[in-house]
Amino acid sequence: MKITEVKVIKANRCVFVRIDTDEGIHGIGEAGAWGFLAASATAIETFRCYLIGKNPLDIEHHWQYLQRFGHFRGAVVMAAISAVDEALYDIAGKYFGVPIYRLLGGKCRDKVRVYNHTAGQTEEMLLKNAVKGKEEGFTALGHLNPYLDEPRELPFHDNPTQLLYKAEKRVAKVREAVGEDIDLCLELHRRLDPGLAIQLSHNLEKYNPMFLEDPIRPDNYDEMAHVALHSNIPIATGERITSFYDFAMLIEKEACSYVRASIGVCGGFTGAIKIAHLAEAHHINLVPHNPLSPVTTNAVLQLAAAVENIAICEYPDPYKASTADNLTNSGVTLRQVDMVNEIPVFKDGYLEIPEKPGLGIELIDGVEEKFPFRPHDVNARLNLDGSVCDQ
């Protein structure tokens, strides 16, 4: 079997690759470099000249080759490699007539626990969506930002005292609203400095969050390790990391209790499996990062089926409406679920594992025309004094 075509598909806020073969089998994958998807699309096109004519089943070799032929990597390149790797595994699964998890060692679980995105631009909206998530059947609420999901155009103005008190009061209200049986996965969006992060973690202990995600900027593993050492709440981080070797350093420094590897930028299935094995050797669990389309959700489910040390998975709502500028001619708002042929079944806080060969999902015909590509704007939030605020 040989690769005959490599095609980039840009639709909505997503970049996919479709790889065709001379046996009529094709595979799809998704790049995950948020904000730089167009650049990742170019990287995929660069790989095309290498991939054409190759055996798609030599996945490890292609993964090594595409990483090591050049002198530079980074998120853009690794997102492209991740998409290609997912597509090659999709081909392999279809070729052998099995879901991808069978190629990764078989099934470790029958279903995958997930958490939702509990967003809120106001405190009232945050509480309302937390209760709604519980009512929908989620046993964990995630992407829960105690500093709210305010518009980036609104300057951020809280001082350190407000950062401590507001976060504690909001988490307390969420805990009271949903009760003691729900896991709270707090997303701090890199908002704090190490000292303040440690102080906040102590204040939030009594509400028993499952983890604090990225309380500080994740660029310095030593500082993240310092926060983890002094916090009694587990730290989760890793979504920005693209290299297997960087994950090794993060884990060796004991900088987190949960690894937030993103299959769309860490090297696809090949990279994620290597990271999972590293983490397992240190009794660390994975919480895969996933802000992407249903294609990536299926990829995460295939990974979670085969990897023992998965704690829980992020689940972006596929039924969420796209923005107002993305309407059909009939005026019906499109959703991510409309981009694919089917999605996994959600029930009682879990997603069913797709059992069809490969990823178990396909893009609809004409997805590029129905969902015009919309790249992300360069739009950082600012503090009241004009400096950059992480959000």
Name the pairing type of β-strands 350-352 and 346-347: antiparallel
Instruction: Assess whether 243 and 185 both reside in one domain.
Output: yes
| pLDDT 10s digits, 291-316 | 999 999 999 999 999 999 999 999 99
- Is 9 part of any domain? yes
Rg of the chain over all Cα atoms, to the nearest angstrom: 21
Instruction: Assess whether 215 and 349 both reside in one domain.
Output: yes
Instruction: Assess whether 261 and 117 both reside in one domain.
Output: yes
Instruction: Assess whether 35 and 178 both reside in one domain.
Output: no
Instruction: Assess whether 28 and 138 both reside in one domain.
Output: no
Domain boundary among 60, 80, 98: 98
| pLDDT 10s digits, 263-293 | 999 999 999 999 999 999 999 999 999 999 9
Instruction: Assess whether 122 and 186 both reside in one domain.
Output: yes
Instruction: Assess whether 228 and 353 both reside in one domain.
Output: yes
- Is 243 part of any domain? yes
Domain boundary among 45, 72, 98: 98
Residue 326's pLDDT band (boundaries 50, 70, 90)? very low
Asked if 268 and 90 touch (Cβ cutoff 8 Å), the reply is no
Could you tell me the CATH number of the domain that includes residue 338?
Answer: 3.20.20.120
Instruction: Assess whether 279 and 187 both reside in one domain.
Output: yes
Task: Give the integer Cα–Cα distance in Å for 335 and 339.
Answer: 7
Task: Count the domains in the chain.
Answer: 2
Model pLDDT, residue 330: 45
The answer, yes or no, to whether residue 14 has pLDDT greater than 50, is yes
| pLDDT 10s digits, 120-153 | 999 999 999 999 999 999 999 999 999 999 999 9
Could you tell me the CATH number of the domain that includes residue 56?
Answer: 3.30.390.10
Instruction: Assess whether 54 and 153 both reside in one domain.
Output: no
- Is 371 part of any domain? no
- Is 389 part of any domain? no
Instruction: Assess whether 111 and 69 both reside in one domain.
Output: no
The answer, yes or no, to whether residue 117 has pLDDT greater than 80, is yes
Structure tokens at 104: 């990764």
Residue 327's pLDDT band (boundaries 50, 70, 90)? very low
User: In the chain, what percentage of residues exceed pLDDT 70?
Assistant: 97
The answer, yes or no, to whether residue 157 has pLDDT greater than 70, is yes
| pLDDT 10s digits, 45-97 | 999 999 999 999 999 999 999 999 988 889 999 999 999 999 999 999 999 99
Model pLDDT, residue 72: 87
The answer, yes or no, to whether residue 235 has pLDDT greater than 60, is yes
Asked if 288 and 260 touch (Cβ cutoff 8 Å), the reply is yes
Model pLDDT, residue 144: 96
- Is 387 part of any domain? no
Residue 254, CA distances (Å) to 15, 62, 235, 309 in order: 34, 31, 10, 17
pTM above 0.85, yes or no: yes
99-108, 324-333, 376-385: lowest mean pLDDT where?
324-333
| pLDDT 10s digits, 173-207 | 999 999 999 999 999 999 999 999 999 999 999 99
| pLDDT 10s digits, 335-373 | 999 999 999 999 999 999 999 999 999 999 999 999 999
Instruction: Assess whether 80 and 162 both reside in one domain.
Output: no
The answer, yes or no, to whether residue 21 has pLDDT greater than 60, is yes
Q: What is the largest CA-CA distance in the chain?
A: 63
Residue 332's pLDDT band (boundaries 50, 70, 90)? low
Secondary structure in 3-state letters for the chain: CCEEEEEEEEECCEEEEEEEECCCCEEEEECCCCCCHHHHHHHHHHHHHHHCCCCCCCHHHHHHHHHHCCCCCHHHHHHHHHHHHHHHHHHHHHHHCCEHHHHCCCCCCCEEEEEEECCCCCHHHHHHHHHHHHHCCCCEEEEECCCCCCCCCCCECCCHHHHHHHHHHHHHHHHHHHCCCCEEEEECCCCCCHHHHHHHHHHHHHHCCCEEECCCCCCCHHHHHHHHHHCCCCEEECCCCCCHHHHHHHHHCCCCCEECCECCCCCHHHHHHHHHHHHHCCCCEECCECCCCHHHHHHHHHHHHHCCCECCEECCCCCCECCCCCECCCCCECEHHHHECCCCCEECCEEECCCCCECCCCECCCHHHHCCCCCCCCCCEEECCCCEECC
User: In the chain, what percentage of residues exceed pLDDT 90?
Assistant: 94
- Is 381 part of any domain? no
- Is 367 part of any domain? no
- Is 125 part of any domain? yes
Instruction: Assess whether 107 and 88 both reside in one domain.
Output: no
Task: Give the integer Cα–Cα distance in Å for 104 and 303.
Answer: 8
Residue 320's pLDDT band (boundaries 50, 70, 90)? confident
**Position 34, amino acid:** W
Show the domain range for 33.
3-98
